[in-house]
Amino acid sequence: MPKILPATGGDVVEIILADHRWFEEALRELRDVRSDRDAVLADLVTVLIAHAEAEESKVYPSLRRKDAIDAEEVEHSEHEHDEGNEALLALMEVEDAGSEEFSEKLHELSEALSHHLDEEERDVLNPARTDISEETRRQLGDAFAQERARLIKSGCGGIANVRKVVEAA
């Protein structure tokens, strides 16, 4: 299992893409019955929640203000975060990580997450690359990384917090 990526700043597009690749690797690990699924899931939950919350509070509003993305794109991405969080919570609630139910819930999470990563990379990150200055992308990267680190440190991946996030959606 890859270690949770450190919270360093830089170009927000590159930081988000690095998280996306990390998510894909974590999903591969979860599919492997030989892996420590509970530990991998705990890390995935923590990073996914921190990543999405940091995007929604730091990245999307700035891209919207700078007209790189529109309100509909923000709303769509946030809706996909909500769907992913619901699938994440359903997977967390499975008692036995070796069960068929775990595999089914993992498939649902994988589908939701893969769909979101694809759309976000095409419809949010591409405009960020072309419509936002390098300096602004670095400032956004620093803000995103700091918020992501704060959320990880706060224990955002605990099931009580994930339930709260899902209920608030």
Tens of pLDDT, residues 129-157: 999 999 999 999 999 999 999 999 999 99
The two tokens of residue 107 are: 């498939």
Average pLDDT over residues 102-121: 97
Whether 139 maps to a domain, the answer reads yes
Confidence category of residue 1, pLDDT binned at 50, 70, 90: low
Range of the domain at 110: 12-168
Whether 114 maps to a domain, the answer reads yes
Whether 3 maps to a domain, the answer reads no
- Average pLDDT value for the chain: 94
Whether 7 maps to a domain, the answer reads no
Query: For residue 125, is pLDDT > 60?
Result: yes
Whether 124 maps to a domain, the answer reads yes
Confidence category of residue 8, pLDDT binned at 50, 70, 90: confident
Total of domains in the chain: 1
Contacts 24+ apart (CB under 8 A), 61-68: 62/136, 62/140, 62/143, 63/124, 63/127, 63/128, 63/132, 63/140, 66/131, 66/132, 66/136, 67/131, 68/127, 68/128, 68/131, 68/132
Helices (H), 32-57: 37-54
Whether 4 maps to a domain, the answer reads no
Average pLDDT over residues 66-77: 93
Tens of pLDDT, residues 27-61: 999 999 999 999 999 999 999 999 999 999 999 99
Task: Answer yes or no: pTM beyond 0.75.
Answer: yes
